[in-house]
Amino acid sequence: MKRILIVLLSFVLLAFTSDTEKRIAIVEKVSDVPVFFFSKPVAKYDVIGKAMSFSDMLKMASDQKSNVRQKAEKIVKIAQKRVENSKITAFDALIIELENDKVFAIKFKSEISKKAKIDNYGDVPVYFFCEPNDKYKLVKKLDADFSLRAKNGGSLYDKINSMVKRTIKKRKDLELEYFDAIIINPDDLSEKLINFKKI
C-alpha cells in the first residue's frame, strides 16, 4: 500500500511539473562556434578556461557601438587568439554569462551540440541568440522597451533584464495576452511573445 501511494505521488508531482522546465533550444553559431547566452548545453562538457581576460571584458562592456552579433564575433576571435597564445586549449563552444561578465570556453565530452537548456525568468523561458526546439505560434511582437536607467548606459544584461521584467509584469497585469515564452532578437532586442503548440 505504501509503495502504491509513493508511485501515485510521483505521478502527481510529474503532472504539476512545469513544461517550461523542460524547454530546449538550438543556439546560433558564430564563426562555426556554438554560443550559449542565458543557457547551458544539454550535452555533458568540461570548462577548459576563461575565454576572455578581465581587461578584454571591460573593453567589451564599454563598447556601445557594436550590436550583440558583432560583439559575439569579437568574443569568439578573442577566445581563438587565446588558444593561439596557449592561454587555453582548443574549445568547442562558448558560454557567455552576461549577468556575471564572464565567458567560458568549453569542450564537449562527446559530439559538439547546439542544444541548450534555457534559463527561465520565473516561469517564462527566455530565448536569446537561439530558437526553441519546440513548435510554437506567435502571439505578439514588441519593440525593445527597457527602463530609462538601462537605456542610458546600462549593460546588455541590464537592458534585457529590465525589458523582460516589464513584459512579464504586463502579462501579470493582463495588459498583454497570455504567452508561454519570449524570444529576443539579438539585432534590435525586439521581443516575440510565443505560445508552444500542444502535442
Each residue's pLDDT tens digit, 52-96: 887 887 777 677 777 888 889 999 999 999 999 999 999 999 999
Structural domain spans, the chain: 25-108, 119-196
pLDDT value at 131 more than 60:
yes
- The pLDDT score that the predictor gives to residue 7 is 35
Neighbours of 52 (CB within 10 A): 24
Q: pTM of the prediction?
A: 0.82
Asked if the model's pLDDT at residue 139 lies above 70, the reply is yes
CA angle, corner 7, sides to 3 and 10, nearest 5? 140
Helical spans, DSSP H, in the chain:
2-15, 54-62, 68-84, 148-151, 156-172
Instruction: Give Dmax over CA atoms of the chain in angstroms.
Output: 66
Is the separation of the CB atoms in 179 and 193 below 8 Å? yes
Q: Under a CB-based contact definition with an 8 Å cutoff, are residues 105 and 79 in contact?
A: yes
In this prediction, residues 124-131 reach a mean pLDDT of 94
